[in-house]
Amino acid sequence: MNVHVDGEFALSVPLEVVLRRGLRTGTEIDDAGLATLARDDQRWRAKQSALNLLSYRQRSETELRRQLLRRRFLPDVVEECVVDLRNAGLLNDDLFAATFARDRRRRRPIGRARLEAELSAKGVEAETIARVLAQLDEEEGETEIDLARHALRKFPTRAGEDPMRRRRRLAGFLGRRGLGAEVIAEVLADE
């Protein structure tokens, strides 16, 4: 809805905000009221933008904050939006981290170090990461050796390749997946 003051356009606000404020044609509004309306408009737009982002996939609180700030919403409006979504149960870093780690391990087996780095880059706190990964290890019962062996199934083989070159490529392949040197050495010994 377009809001006009003294016959001149002042701002455009969503119908939901107009209805919540009880505005009607002829309602008198002062500068403070206009500022409040503009702030309500910002809150509404930030929330809609956040819901749109969450409709594609789950996100961490930090990740959502970054996206909203990148879209030029005011920092305090972004913080209010994040708190509202957290209270509504739509933002949960524990659930996000568990889902992300589980999906990441299923799609492309990677080690604990790589998972920790990826979750940390998404803004998940270190203690949350540790708790979620410990729970995931307990649930799945897979060791890093199992993950490395699973990753080996996806390792491309080359006909006639020198065995030492293959071992170096294999070590690099497993290392890029975040598996530790001990795990790589054990898998290479079995190879």
pLDDT of res. 129: 94
- Quote the pTM value: 0.74
DSSP one-letter code for 28: -
Q: Which of 141, 132, 142 is nearest to 110 (CA)?
A: 142
Over range 46-68, report the average pLDDT: 95
Average pLDDT in the chain = 87
Banded model confidence at residue 64, pLDDT cuts 50, 70, 90: very high
Dihedral pair phi/psi, residue 28, rounded to 5°: -85, 140
179 has pLDDT over 80: yes
Interatomic CA distance for residues 109 and 112, integer angstroms = 10
The secondary structure of 127-183, three-state, reads HHHHHHHHHHHHHHCCCHHHHHHHHHCCCCCCCCCCHHHHHHHHHHHHHHCCCCHHH
Identify the structural domains of the chain with CATH numbers, from first to last. Answer: 2-87 (1.10.10.10), 93-190 (no CATH)
Highest mean pLDDT: which of 113-127, 132-146, 160-174? 113-127
Contacts of 71 (CB under 8 A, 6+ apart): 49
127 has pLDDT over 80: yes
Amino acid making up residue 101: A
